[in-house]
Amino acid sequence: MKIVCPACGNHKSFLIPLWVRCTFKFNEDGTLSILHVRQLESLEDKIVDQGKTSFAITCKDCGADALVTLNEYENLDNQKAQRAALEAL
Amino acid sequence: MKLLCIRCGNYTYFETDITGIKEISAADGLMTIDNARFPDFDYTEDTIRNNLKDMVDYVLKEDDSSLVFDPETETYYNRFITCARCGSAKVIKPFRPKRRMVPLDQELEENREEFNALRKERTDENSLPRLWEP
Ligand SMILES: [Zn+2]
Ligand SMILES: [Zn+2]
């Protein structure tokens, strides 16, 4: 898998939004303290779903939407699997 | 007390789902995930703190849209915040008796002396003797 920024060419650092469950408490002075943070989404699913969801992976340097390409062999595997499935029919 | 779980009485510990931000770094074909850090701040930490605060402020301010009424159980459920103690979504703003509503004219009249005293303080301050001349 490869991630690149089509706008500035960055291929190292990207930002990804992820849902988290936050356990917190109200302090007596009205402020909030965070007790625990748990990630709710799998990062792998999220990356593979890039483009299908409204939340995109963005370039850390310029903020543009990043481009994710899966490995060629993964695609080949996929095609092979699809062909096998068709043949089975 | 800002929020109350009407199932277990907890008013301190709660849970909510918010969006966070992480950084993916790619180097030598390896991908790692960590907090998104910039030279002077941790974007991941700031996002979590800000989004949590926004969510709590929203629920406290817009309790009409964050509470859904279930006619079957005749209780309110919070769409965004649950109790961290018992897991219930029956999290509401504690009931506070409505403040007596008086006509504004009457309120101004009742507070007239207090207002005059406040104004006088300000005028007196301006007429204090000068101790020092530039
Ligand atoms: Zn970029
Ligand atoms: Zn509870």
Residue B9 clears pLDDT 90, i.e. is over it: yes
CB B14 within 8 A of CB B3: yes
Min mean pLDDT across A42-56, A60-74, B99-113 is at A42-56
- Domain span holding position A28: 2-88
pTM: 0.73
End-to-end Cα distance, chain A:
31
Greater pLDDT, A78 or B79: B79
Q: E strands within A13-56?
A: 13-26, 32-39
| Contact residues, B window 61-100, toward A, CB-based 8 Å cutoff | 84
Give pLDDT, residue A84: 62
* Region A1-20 average pLDDT: 92
Give pLDDT, residue A46: 75
Q: Is A55 at the interface with chain B, CB within 8 A?
A: yes
The Cα–Cα gap between B87 and B71 comes to 20
Q: Is B18 at the interface with chain A, CB within 8 A?
A: yes
* Region A41-52 average pLDDT: 72
Percent residues over pLDDT 70 in chain A:
72
B7 CA to centre of ligand 2 in angstroms? 5
Whole-number average pLDDT of chain B: 89
- In tens, the pLDDT along B11-53 reads 999 999 999 999 999 888 788 999 999 999 999 999 999 999 9
Of the candidates B80, B13, B4, the one whose C-alpha atom is nearest the C-alpha of residue A34 is: B13
Classified as helix, coil or strand, B3 is coil
Let me know if B56 is exposed, middle or buried by CB neighbors in 10 A (0-12, 13-18, 19+).
buried
Q: Do B20 and A47 touch (CB under 8 A)?
A: no
Give pLDDT, residue B95: 76
| Domains held by chain A: number | 1
Classified as helix, coil or strand, B127 is coil
The Cα–Cα gap between B122 and B114 comes to 13
How much is the ipTM here?
0.72
Band of residue A44 on the pLDDT scale cut at 50, 70, 90: confident
Ligand 1 being an ion, which residues bring their Cβ within 5 A of it?
A: A 5, 7-8, 10, 59, 61-62, 64
